[in-house]
Chains A and B, each alone.
Chain A
Amino acid sequence: MSKPDACDPIADDEIVLKHVTERSGWYDPSREVPVKWEAFRPNANDVNGKSVWRAKYKTADEVARLATRFSNRKDHRYFVMSLRVGDLRRIGIQVAATPDEGQGELGHASLSNLNVAEYESHQDTFRALAERICRELILCVSGPFGPFGEDARETP
């Protein structure tokens, strides 16, 4: 029997979680807008959009542990942002369940149109969208979590 893969459609009232490393400087509570738009800027690896995790399947602490597990660095601390799916969709961001087949973790999703091709084609529009997320849509930021070191292999 196959494992559940959390392919169920994502409802507008769901919350998704997105991590940022403390060292990135993308989150600083002392700034007027604490989260930087770069947290949503896709890089060359983000072909299918920015990764997020569904809060109905993962806690913020678990998201930070997963980030450590998937990273080569085990000494990072992480902040985790909460965003409401309906808010993201309202400004044109597509949110889709994208099961994490490689790692077998439940609750993976993608902000599908925040992908590298979209960014490279429409930089100014993209920047405005990312700025809007940072200014208006982040419900809360929790953390820092970690560092977890090799303990990140185990979720509590």
Chain B
Amino acid sequence: MLDCSSALASEVLPFGDSTAATEESLSIDFSESNQRREAWQQLIDFKLVEWGRDPGQLEDVDLIPPTQAAVDRAVRIAMKMQQSGVQPPTSVVPDGDGGVNMERRSGATTESIEIASTGIAEFVLLQNGRVVGRRDFHVGR
């Protein structure tokens, strides 16, 4: 059974390596580290900054585009996560109500950072599509 306590601890950044630490995994090679950094940078430059520049591009009858507060917070979180060298998310999408959701899925586990239209962020942990924990997320505030 998943031990949620560490993933939900406020000082732990989500999107960490999901495998147990081994000698091999402790020495993440330089190229992988660069790939992660580049993936975060692409997300910031080509998605979040673009949404901030022209939020109307997402507007639809079913979708309220991300607010500037949500995009600004998402950029700050992404920069912090990039600096920390954690894995990039598997998806970043508008939440449909003025916010931004970042998510990393790995098998049955989903880690999600939900940034509301106000810029307030929560970390949500799911197992097999069910929420098993939720906490305030203070990174990038």
Contacts and interface: CB of A to CB of B under 8 A. Distances in A.
Contacts of A127: 124, 126, 131
A36 B93 contact: yes
B105 A132 contact: no
Given A38-B94, A43-B97, A128 B58 contact: no
21 contacts: A21-B60, A21-B62, A21-B63, A25-B92, A28-B91, A33-B105, A36-B91, A38-B94, A38-B95, A38-B96, A38-B101, A41-B95, A43-B63, A43-B97, A70-B61, A72-B59, A73-B56, A73-B57, A124-B134, A127-B131, A128-B130
Given A28-B91, A38-B93, A43 B64 contact: yes
Interface in A2-40: 19-21, 23-26, 28, 31-33, 36, 38-39
B57 A23 contact: yes
Contact of A32 (B60, B96, B105): B105
Contact of B58 (A23, A43, A123): A23
Contacts of A20: 62
Interface of B: 56-64, 90-98, 101, 105, 124, 126, 129-131, 134
Interface in A114-156: 123-124, 127-128, 131-132, 135
A128 B130 CA distance: 5
B61 A24 contact: no
Given A127-B126, A132-B129, A135-B129, A71 B59 contact: yes
Q: Which of B57, B94, B126 has the most CB of A within 10 A?
A: B94
B130 A67 contact: no
A26 to B, nearest CB: 6
A43 B62 CA distance: 8
A98 interface: no
Contacts of B130: 124, 128, 131
B64 A71 contact: no
Nearest to A78: B60
